[in-house]
Structure 1
Amino acid sequence: MAIREGPLSKWTNVMKGWQYRWFVLENETGLLSYYTSALIGVDDEDDCTFTITVESKTYHFQTRDSKEKDNWIADLQICIDSQTLLTMKNRENYSKSLENFDKKLLESDGYLQLLISGVQGLEERIELCADDESANKLREIRDASQNLIETVKHSIVLLQMAKQNIIGLQEAGVLEFSQQCQVTANVNGNNGSKNSPTMPKRVANKTPEFSSESEDDFFDADDGIANANVKEDKKTAKTEAEINGVDHTVTDLTRFDDYYDINNEEDLGSVEQQHGSLIRHLLSQVRIGMDLTKITLPTFILERRSLLEMFADFLAHPDLWCAIADGETPEDRMVACLRWYLSAFHAGRNASIAKKPYNPILGEIFQCHYDMERFFPNSGEKEVKDGPVAWAKERDVSIVAEQVSHHPPISAFYAENVSKRLSLNAHIWTKSKFLGLSIGVSMVGKAVLSVLDHNEEYTISFPSCYGRAILTTPWMELGGKTQITCNTGYTANIDFHSKPFYGGKKHTITADIMPPGGQPKSKPLLSVQGEWNGVMQATWLATNKTELFLDTQKMNVHPKSIRPIADQDVHESRQMWKYVTYYLAKKDVLHATEHKSKLEQKQREEAKARKETGAEWKQRVFDCIGDDYFYKTPLKDRIEIHHSNN
């Protein structure tokens, strides 16, 4: 029902000035509507203007006389008060419903993960099934289950979209309490209030005219001019970047090094609130189990460093790694290896900040070393000119990593300490899959740790990484079974436990060290339990003695030593990604995305050129032998060459 209706002059813009409209104010809905098909006279004796401001948008109106202006303002206030009371009641009920909705959605995702685990179990049974008839029946169950999983996944996404649509309606109009409070404070006559923008002068028209042209969001002329200036500035800046290939607003290259400090990373907050439409669009394009390698993820979720640099954090406690060589017995060295391994993850993955490092570009190199003078003073002063980091010393832990393959995406890295005669050679294929409300990243590959003085090799596997709650506030956890096996016969079995559906803790691990020749049901020598990013306790089964094994919360991460960006080659990680990192640190996603796209486009063009010419890609510092990648000049080979020359 209309509480008031009548003619008002609406200020459109500088060019069109005041335009007459027929306005209708409805009490039940709180809507103020206007029409463009009436001819109304006007009395120009008094200044009869008033404004309505909603957030930063101001609408200007004129009435035919001051009494009519007062009547409009009074009725608008009555309507606002009525809608405010209704909104408070609706918001209270809405908050309770939203809380229950989120709870049910998390439960649905939990059941979804159980379904996915069940299908994986079916796959294993099919492979072991010797009877074709039984195998076919299992395949039918598997296919039906996969269809169910896909249906559940799409249902979850649609529910999230419906939730966001409701929130959008609330923000847009009738249910929005905060906006109506602002309207209450800003419905004023033109009395020189500080809240009122400068009013345009009233123009008297003996014969008013109504325009039927489209009026899509015309607001104050000043607002339009300001927005136009911003757009023009962005356009000019983009043109400069395109012409010169770089953004010349950043001139001091030494400053880039400051922006790689991941300790200053902020978490994503609520992805649904900040970037909901973009994330939901991406999710609508993928299927359960789909490989996400070829999906371009939005720039705002990126961590400010390359994946190659993240791998260097496996050695962020280099003293524990070097201590492996100091063990007196094979058992001591296996215990030391397990201690280093369990310390390696908290430095590289902050569980509360679920961001993704840059996908490395093919041929990209990362070099660094850990300065070990504090641990080994007055020793190992000689530089290792033929090592992976030519400016590092014998006592230091040197690391080099390379993106050796693009499809599939495989990274290789190598580390060594000459003084301790230790080396580590690894390659990892990061295989991403969509799992509903989670994303799983399997680290397929292995690392081989060589203790040269004892002729021992430790073969190591890696856990999977999961980004949970990707539509709300993302967080990260590790999961899966891994193993460390040594040619001495010792084995360590590690289990990274995912958080249970109901109750339980996050980030828990259990690990057992088994003796040589141990059977599956044999008792372990040592058992470890705790949290991989917290405290871990070890129990010696022979004596039943329990002791602190690790407390990562009290362990300082050893800083990496990296050449300044200004001294790096063009294919080194920080030099390659410097502009993306800079703009992410400045929260300028637009320019960060532009520079990221340039790198990716260059990689595509180079791949196309190699395909057309039949050229093969040659790795820089690693050799591909079968399915494995090996550093070209490992410490063991260099020692043997040195001995043969002498």
Structure 2
Amino acid sequence: MTSPSSGTGTVAHTQQLAAVLADSEPCSCFSAANANDTAVAPIQGPEGKMNELVKSLPSPTLPGIHLPCSDTYKGWLFKWTNYLKGYQRRWFVLSNGLLSYYRTQAEMAHTCRGTIPLATAHIDVGDTCHFVLTSGGRNYHLKATSEGECQRWVSALQQANANATLMMHQSDDSGDEGPGPQEDRTINQGVLKTLSTKLDDLSTCNELIGKHGAALQRSLSELEDLRGAADSTDRVKSVNERATLFRITSNAMINACQDFVDVAESHNRRWQKALQYEREQRHHLEETIEQLAKQHNSLERAWRENPTTYSGEIHYLSERGDDSDENEEAEFFDAMEDSPAFITVSATGSIKHKRCRIPDKPNYSLNLWSIMKNCIGKDLSKIPMPVNFNEPLSMLQRLTEDLEYSELLDRAAHCDSSLEQMCLVAAFSVSSYSTTVHRTAKPFNPLLGETFELDRLEEYGYRSICEQVSHHPPAAALHVTSQRGWSLWQHITIDSKFRGKYISVMPLGNIHLHFHASGNHYVWSKVTSTVHNIIVGKLWIDQSGDIEIVNTTVKDTCRLKFSPYSYFSREVPRKVTGVVEDREGTGHYILSGTWDGKMESSKIVDSSEGCGGSEGKQKTVYQTLQPKLLWKKYPLPNNAENMYYFSSLALTLNEPEEGVAPTDSRMRPDQRLMEAGLWDEANTHKQRLEEHQRLERKKRDAQVNEALEDGQDVEGYLPLWFEKRTDETTGDITYTYRGGYWEAKERQDWSQCPEIY
């Protein structure tokens, strides 16, 4: 191919072609302004529009002509390949926010050597004629032939980067909130206008291809009729020129098609996200309306059955005035079509609001080391500790706090892809640690047989029951059922050790999660929690270790790594990373974030083997799309530092409720007194409860020994609401919910409950 600096031959050929095209049928697309410049004539109609399209075409029949376009830039650059070959000459094309490169211009028709998206690229200008593009973790070292050419490339790339970033801002923004309506409408209108323009280009090209094709066919027919004639040479030349025009028009058609496809593909993801956002909003609206309808019906029914219990009245307000007397016997389950209706309930006791604060923590001073110095190497669960080291919640309540971000599981229940579902499950497993970052106080050790229920059916669609099923070793069992498509259960045993400078808490056992619609069953465990600076300094907590989440149904896995904090590390504190893989071990998503802040997922689009792995193994390097926010921590309530750093959910867990079992943690006297700030009285009751528990244990041991002497087979203590079974998935001995608690609560029959307080 002739280079752009071919000089005289190029100009002469251009002038000749322009003259031929000016006299030829069916159109006249080009004219020469002078011997040293090639210009596009301002011709009207499809032929005039054709001039604009061919500006960006590298025509093999018009060497040396560079027709710049407003959204494209192209030319030769030198690209660094490797240390053996160094810089190699490549043909670069900048269009629609993408920088593509080829070995030659001819390769544009069939082979692209690489494409760099400028929306996520970073541009660094180096030495003379040298600049670097960084995108997707790769560096592209490029050189121009002159400083002027380098500056033109850098300016074009920076402008394209700014435009691409602006256009892709909405599609790359994967937060929980949807796109802004006004900005979303503006971008959509711009995209639709661009697509409409591209369609016009395609229509123009189609019309011209038809005309030029017909003219070419006529020329070929005339050429056959004039074989051997004197003017055959001129006719051959005419046919060649018309074939050239047809080729240029065809290339314009191809280019216009590619532009249309590029624009459509670049916004496809954004439109899909907008559609998904609308679906989620519709689903949320449907759930809200359903809840409002249920509350509406419940309030009406309650008022009609016993209106005297309400301090106020229920009024139906409509445009027709007060006509409620005429409809006294009717039940209004739906709003009337001919008139809007509203319900006003002035009764203050009809709806119970959860509390948003507890009494401030008293300022008690205590020498921690004087108590802990004799506990080194021992299991802290066996050591009586004053309430000064506690927070006014039991371990059962702390275990239930894992449900604070249950909406992650609600979203996961509606996922069609098991891999996307795994991302949300992983985020949920991390979210359970977000409330612990400032929670250095220990929860109360539950008494054997102690329970805790959390009924959030109306607010969040779930309810849970937890029971202390063993005292030594301390073990609790939890079961959660949700009306939004999932169930969760776990059996956790706590092993804690005091090492002098720090306390380590190791939860043992598995967490199970089952989604009703898909049948997917997930299993994972918890990491180690460590409280540092026991002897001197400010207490702080860290989470470290690995979590492996397994979808036992389809064998997808996710390995999460909780990096331990190190003063000398440059890593983000409390960092969590992970990879979601299918059953073949192929990675599909990268998870990253912190256990006290947020988690994001990035879809993997490419992977390669790199160096730097441990034990001589190769490390896999992943190329991903922009990250998507999965979970973000709620801000703590006001004055949280004086309320044990409790979250909004934690503040409600010990709130007294009517109708709960007498073994519920809310009923513990020492815990209630501590929450009220009466720590001395709380310590007195705590010692009494622990002594009562020891006496009960001695009685049980004596009964077991007596039964064994009589040759009877006894199992020892049996929990009330849970039973010991062999887990079918893991093969471990675990405690699972046997049922009956919520039925007993409905009957208010707690006769089976032991007296533990």
Which structure has more RCO (C-alpha within 8 Å, separation ≥ 6)?
1
TM normalised by structure 1 equals: 0.49
TM normalised by structure 2 equals: 0.42
Larger radius of gyration: 2
